[in-house]
Amino acid sequence: MKMMKYLANLIAGVCLIFNLILVSSQPLFVDCGSKGGKDEYGRTWVEDAKYLTSSKNSEQAGAQHHNPLLPSTLPYMNARIFKSQATYKFPKKAKERYFLRFHFYPSTFGNYDVSKSYFAVAAGEIPLMNNFSAAITCRALTQAYLVREYSLAPSDCDSLEITFTPSTNYSDTFAFVNGIELVVMPNLLGTAPMVGYRSWSVLDVATENLQTMYRVNVGGQFIPPNKDAGGLSRTWYIDDTYLNGAVQGLSIQSDKTIKIDYGNMSTATAPEDVYSTARVMGKFGKVNLQTNLTWVFRVDPNITYLVRLHFCELQFDKLNNRMFNIYLNNHSAIADPYPADILAWTNQKDVATYKDFALDLNDESGHEQIRVDLNPSAIHNPRYYNVLLNGLEIFKVSEGRSLASPNPELSDMMIQEDQVAMNKPKTFSKSSDNIVVVGATGGAAAAFVVVALLAFFYTKKRKVHRVGPHTSSWLPVYGNSNVGGSRSNSAHLSALAQGLSRHFSIAEIKQATNNFDESNVIGVGGFGKVYKGVINGGTKVAIKRSNPSSEQGINEFQTEIEMLSKLRHKHLVSLIGFCEDGGEMCLVYDYMALGTFREHIYNNKKSNLSWKKRLEICIGAARGLHYLHTGAQYTIIHRDVKTTNILLDEKWVAKVSDFGLSKTGPDMNQGHVSTVVKGSFGYLDPEYFRRQQLTEKSDVYSFGVVLFEALCARPALNPSLPKEQVSLADWALSCHKKGTLDDIIDPHLKDKIDPECLKKFAGTAVKCLSDQGIDRPHMGDVLWNLEFALQLQETADSSGSSGDQGSVRSRDASVRNPRESGNLSVGSEHELNESKDDSVIFSQLVNPTGR
Ligand SMILES: *[C@@H]1O[C@H](CO)[C@@H](O)[C@H](O)[C@H]1NC(C)=O
Ligand SMILES: *[C@@H]1O[C@H](CO)[C@@H](O)[C@H](O)[C@H]1NC(C)=O
Ligand SMILES: *[C@@H]1O[C@H](CO)[C@@H](O)[C@H](O)[C@H]1NC(C)=O
Ligand SMILES: *[C@@H]1O[C@H](CO)[C@@H](O)[C@H](O)[C@H]1NC(C)=O
Ligand SMILES: *[C@@H]1O[C@H](CO)[C@@H](O)[C@H](O)[C@H]1NC(C)=O
Ligand SMILES: *[C@@H]1O[C@H](CO)[C@@H](O)[C@H](O)[C@H]1NC(C)=O
């Protein structure tokens, strides 16, 4: 059974002596169907023809359509097409483990519509894919392209045969591939204890074939292949999307000057960036004790997984400071009575390590997720009640079985909707190429994910609707906005299905808005008017209608769709659907019940927002912007950050909106985006004027203005004031310098802001307004500082009040301070020590001077 050491099903028999020249350990990047060249990451790809065992049964073809979301032209824009079974034979070293990666870009290549392509792929005898449809898989993931990664166990062969077999179940089908990578993988695998067995047993992973399911830099940033450790070209995604539940903890980062010590571990295990960032729980131990920090990953059922957790203690240098329990699918991996203490493994702070676990889903009938729970352990009376995780990888373990998984299933509703979309008159279509529609890359969604479980829809053929003569293709959006906020747990699937972007007819839109009745207008943007509307007999929506005569409007419309389709985050506004019909283009969003941030601070003041609420809204917006800057494949610059583009839902959750001016960038080569000046006066980066350059620091500047608006309750520009006061940015900076900031604070907030909190907040805002972009903090630092400011405020608030039992709140940064002056008896020693010590640690980590 599983407890036994499985011997891998090695590539048997077919191992021919093929190549006697010395095979180098250099990575091999094969550009299938083309001549090769350098990709955007600077990696060199080579022509594939010489690796084909026969020149007969394949063709090469170029993609008809360039999806702007591709990270690189190479290897995606060309494909090798196989009408019948064909084999690549690559030289490799015997006895070495290899990463094998496939790149798929579902498009139309020559006359081949990839939506008709179903095929099997095997590496030697190991089945990797079966009846595989790259189009369906990408669609379900809303990815423009797909990378599948496998790790092949060492074998005696000095060649690797990769066989593509078009599915026999379809008459007119074919196989295709855009790129193949073969990278020697150092010896990073050993044995992993099986979790959930009463008797201790281990799985020997070193002899197994694996498929990568997830690879996450917990609490950190997206790491592209060229920044990976050891030249292994792995991609590390952010963890936000997988966090589950109300408690999201804090992301922390070690001081840049600290070098991570890898001890006796290979430096290729994971990049330093993985170990120098982490997610921890909030400051308040008593609350932490009652909660879990939880990540949920969807996987295929009935197979074993290797879960690797990366750790590096960044805050404490002594044993018994942070002890915690680790559970996988509710089984103890490391837990009481022997909880994890990272220092016990590494002896020192800033030393990297990892722990492997094997989790067998065969025993958990039908389980289709891996849930990682961390919670503090109290039994050894540690100094703090907290947890920490730096990185996580999940691999499917073959154990002699096929690694293939089925394609996503189609839901009736989705198919119907799709057909409706196909039969509609194509008002804006200038071209009628048939092409597979690819959604877009969800920056956070790991491209490896097996999506068999997601119920998404798909049709074999779709039209590309072109918008205007100058713009690239029109990308319908099948992603949905809920994903970022509501996590990938199974309970969410139905919501996901319901929330899918849909096509609206113009009749529906007119009905929803009472024929665009002026009384329903709730805003006007560069793009056109925004109407309030009601669909499905009750759901409130906001509908943006493009000004049909404006080419600019069309461009912004498209940018907005492209942005929102690739971005999903709790703090970004969500798109429900769109309409392009009867000469109209409309975008349909979630209705933000509480309107704009601005109207709650000064314009037609609807409410007297408390300081804490304002802080929380600023934090939410900062989180959304931080995600834009770092969470996606590209840096995305919003370009129009202002208080009217921060919307509030009915629960006061801040959502950044209006992506019409957004740009992806900075350009890989230039480090900036150069454009005509746009955006809003009063918020514009001075550097932008001087150099016509736009970086993500331009958003940081605008956000600094937003922070002062929140504090001072006045517009960014007020021409009716004396000259030196017209610009809020200038005025606030000068007051801060003179030490008179108190005088310009919103009178409603007088004496309600904790002085320490104010200092932190104002200091952060001032930093954001630095004249030079380079002096401004990154959005991540801003977020940090604001979270810290909020904690200072909460600490101050709760030390004044009594009776607060420290209920858990659902705000991201964590939890309310349970400490209260009158109640020292209930384990509060911890909290008392904790607040003090933590402040020191936090202020060191936070690095308010920016980088
Ligand atoms: C697909 O083809 C395989 C092999 O030709 C066959 O065994 C299988 O029954 C077919 N499946 C369907 C659904 O037609
Ligand atoms: C690394 O060192 C630790 C003790 O210092 C030891 O337990 C562990 O087995 C070593 N690991 C390897 C891969 O050598
Ligand atoms: C924390 O996780 C463990 C293991 O999955 C679970 O048994 C427990 O109920 C969780 N606690 C909370 C508060 O979610
Ligand atoms: C997790 O385990 C605990 C105790 O072992 C049990 O009470 C609880 O019901 C389990 N939760 C789930 C979701 O299986
Ligand atoms: C997984 O195993 C369970 C229980 O043995 C079974 O009911 C289910 O059909 C299996 N699922 C798949 C996809 O094989
Ligand atoms: C192949 O995949 C398609 C799409 O998911 C599915 O409809 C079909 O049943 C599958 N065929 C086989 C033989 O598994």
803-822 pLDDT per residue, tens:
333 322 222 333 222 222 22
Closest CA to 388 of 334, 290, 456, 312: 312
- First-residue to last-residue Cα distance in the chain: 54
Quote the pLDDT of residue 429: 30
- Residue 40 burial (C-beta neighbours within 10 Å; 0-12, 13-18, 19+): middle
φ, ψ for residue 560 (rounded to 5)? -60, -45
Residues 6+ apart with CB under 8 A from 649: 590, 592, 593, 594, 655
pLDDT digits (tens, 9 = 90+) for 731-766: 999 999 999 999 999 998 988 999 999 999 999 999
Give just the sign of the alpha carbon dihedral 209, 211, 217, 221.
positive
779-800 and 696-712 are packed helices; what angle lies between their axes, rounded to 10 degrees? Answer: 20
User: Could you tell me what percent of the chain has a pLDDT over 90?
Assistant: 45
Biggest CA-to-CA distance, the chain: 86
Per-residue b or e along 809-848, where b marks 16 or more CB atoms closer than 10 Å to that residue's CB: bebbbbbbbbbbeeeeeeebebbeebbebbbebbeebbee
Rounded mean pLDDT, 627-631: 82
Q: Is the CB–ligand 6 distance for residue 131 below 6 Å? A: yes
Give the 3-state secondary structure of residue 509.
helix
Q: Is 396 annotated as a binding residue?
A: no
Q: Which residue has the tokens 């500082």?
A: 785
Of 113, 341, 356, 640, the active-site residue reads: 640
Closest CA to 310 of 340, 279, 264, 270: 270
Rounded mean pLDDT, 534-551: 78
User: Could you tell me what percent of the chain has a pLDDT over 70?
Assistant: 72
Cα separation, 436 vs 438, whole angstroms: 6
List the single range of 241-255, 294-308, 453-467 with lowest mean pLDDT.
453-467
Quote the pLDDT of residue 441: 28
- Confidence band (pLDDT; 50, 70, 90) for 409? low
Q: Which amino acid is located at 64 in the chain?
A: Q
The rounded Å distance from CA 330 to ligand 4 centre is 6
**Pocket of ligand 3, candidates 247, 327, 377: which has the most ligand atoms within 8 Å of its Cβ, to mutate?**
327
Q: Which residue has the tokens 């139905």?
A: 494
728-738 and 696-712 are packed helices; what angle lies between their axes, rounded to 10 degrees? Answer: 70
Residue 370 structure tokens: 């891996």
Quote the pLDDT of residue 662: 67
Cα separation, 309 vs 293, whole angstroms: 14
Residue nearest to atom 13 of ligand 5 (CA): 301
Cα separation, 600 vs 619, whole angstroms: 16
Quote the pLDDT of residue 341: 96
* Beta-ladder partners of 132: 119
pLDDT digits (tens, 9 = 90+) for 569-601: 889 887 778 787 777 788 888 889 898 999 899
- Beta strand 391-397 with 293-298 is unpaired
Written in H, E and C, the secondary structure of 692-728 is: CEECHHHHHHHHHHHHHHHHHCCCCECCCCCHHHCEH
Quote the pLDDT of residue 55: 84
Residue nearest to atom 11 of ligand 1 (CA): 169
Radius of gyration for the chain, computed over Cα atoms and rounded to the nearest angstrom: 27
Cα separation, 214 vs 187, whole angstroms: 19
Residue 842 or residue 55, greater confidence:
55
**Pocket of ligand 5, candidates 299, 302, 409: which has the most ligand atoms within 8 Å of its Cβ, to mutate?**
302
What is the pTM for the complete model shown? Answer: 0.61
The rounded Å distance from CA 352 to ligand 2 centre is 12
- Confidence band (pLDDT; 50, 70, 90) for 678? low
Ligand at shortest distance from the CA of 330? 3
- Residue 54 burial (C-beta neighbours within 10 Å; 0-12, 13-18, 19+): exposed
Quote the pLDDT of residue 446: 30
Cα separation, 608 vs 653, whole angstroms: 16
- Omega prior to 337 cis, within 30 of 0: yes
Rounded mean pLDDT, 543-560: 69
On the question of pLDDT at 480 being above 50, the answer is: no
Quote the pLDDT of residue 464: 27
Quote the pLDDT of residue 704: 97
Residue 603 or residue 270, greater confidence:
270
Catalytic: 640? yes
The rounded Å distance from CA 406 to ligand 1 centre is 14
- Confidence band (pLDDT; 50, 70, 90) for 19? very low
Residue 482 structure tokens: 């809920």
Ligand at shortest distance from the CA of 116? 6
- How far does CA 201 lie from the centroid of its chain? 35
List the single range of 144-158, 332-346, 500-514, 808-822 with lowest mean pLDDT.
808-822
Residues 6+ apart with CB under 8 A from 254: 260, 276, 277, 314, 350, 845
Quote the pLDDT of residue 56: 86
Residue 427 or residue 66, greater confidence:
66
- Confidence band (pLDDT; 50, 70, 90) for 7? very low
Cα separation, 716 vs 542, whole angstroms: 26
Ligand 5 atom index nearest CA of 302: 1
Quote the pLDDT of residue 422: 53
- Confidence band (pLDDT; 50, 70, 90) for 565? low
Structural domains in the chain, sorted by start: 27-185 (2.60.120.430), 191-397 (2.60.120.430), 412-590 (3.30.200.20), 597-807 (1.10.510.10)
Quote the pLDDT of residue 556: 67
Quote the pLDDT of residue 27: 94
Cα separation, 740 vs 745, whole angstroms: 10
Rounded mean pLDDT, 281-307: 90
Cα separation, 851 vs 836, whole angstroms: 26
Rounded mean pLDDT, 230-249: 85
Closest CA to 130 of 404, 533, 392, 383: 404
Quote the pLDDT of residue 692: 62
- What is the helix (H) or strand (E) element at residue 130, kind and residue range? strand 126-132
Written in H, E and C, the secondary structure of 36-52 is: EEECCCCCEEEECHHHE
The overall average pLDDT reported for the chain is: 77
**Pocket of ligand 6, candidates 131, 139, 450: which has the most ligand atoms within 8 Å of its Cβ, to mutate?**
131
Residue nearest to atom 6 of ligand 1 (CA): 169
Quote the pLDDT of residue 221: 86
Residue nearest to atom 10 of ligand 1 (CA): 169
Q: Is the CB–ligand 1 distance for residue 168 below 6 Å? A: yes
